[in-house]
Amino acid sequence: MTVVPLFCARFIKAPAHHGTPASEQPVSVDRVRRKWSLADRFNIWFNARFEGFLKLYDRLVGLALRRPVVTLVSFGVLFLLSLAIFPLLGLSFSRAPMPVSS
């Protein structure tokens, strides 16, 4: 999720622009009022929430990178807490042994 955009930004360059802005044709977009299907409405809804998640993720990664010591200490504490609850966990997922009939 982070390596591919980094490589794209690093190695893919925009093509050289030939011509001046005066020679370019303006682009107009017709805003046609249309009836949105259920799939279209779901995609719009999902994309809005996913964009919000990505913004939160971006802020958290930025915070972690600005404060690496705090990040490492926090994960260390979480790891130690996970070790502390280990004795409370069962050792296997198997069921109780079946009674042996004689």
pLDDT in tens, 9-41: 777 776 666 655 666 676 676 666 678 888 888
The answer to whether position 26 is within a domain reads no
| H runs (alpha helix) in the chain | 3-11, 38-66, 68-84
Indicate the residue type of 21.
P
Residue 15 lies in a domain: no
Inside any domain, residue 56: yes
Number of domains forming the structure of the chain: 1
Residue 53 falls within a domain, yes or no?
yes
Quick check: is 59 in a domain?
A: yes
Predicted TM-score (pTM) of this structure: 0.47
Nearest to 5 by CA among 53, 50, 54: 54
65 vs 67: CA distance, rounded Å? 5
* Model confidence band, residue 8 (pLDDT cutoffs 50, 70, 90): confident
What does the alpha-carbon distance between residue 37 and residue 32 come to, in Å, rounded to a whole number? Answer: 15
Q: How far apart are CA 85 and CA 62, in angstroms?
A: 31
Please check whether residue 17 lies inside any domain of the structure: no
Residue 98 included in any domain? no
Q: Supply the range of the domain harboring residue 80.
A: 40-86
